[in-house]
Amino acid sequence: MTTLTAQQIACVYAWLAQLFSRELDDEQLTQIASAQMAEWFSLLKSEPPLAAAVNELENCIATLTVRDDARLELAADFCGLF
């Protein structure tokens, strides 16, 4: 059983769909590394089935924030997916 509401689950799906719909720009990169997103990730980690995946996502985001070529790296990964 989940403690997330239907609206929160829908938000997760919408966010993931948006992430994969096109390459991320600088504004989106800044947003995913923001304190607001960290709060949202904390909420998601309260769901045991999501905790490991969210931790991995946070680690990847932290790695990206220290790279000068983050957009280029993500663009290459995006092209590799599709």
> Is residue 76 a part of any domain in this protein?
yes
pLDDT on residue 12: 92
- Split into its structural domains, the chain has a count of 1
User: What are the CA-CA distances from residue 74 to residues 22, 25, 30, 64, 67 (Å)?
Assistant: 11, 10, 13, 9, 11
> Is residue 16 a part of any domain in this protein?
no
- Structural domain including 31 reads 23-81
pLDDT on residue 1: 66
pLDDT on residue 3: 85
Query: Is this prediction's pTM over 0.85?
Result: no
CA angle 11, 13, 17 (to 5 degrees): 115
- Using a pLDDT cut of 90, give the percent of the chain over it: 57
> Is residue 12 a part of any domain in this protein?
no
Q: Dihedral, CA atoms, 20, 21, 25, 31, nearest 10 degrees? A: -60
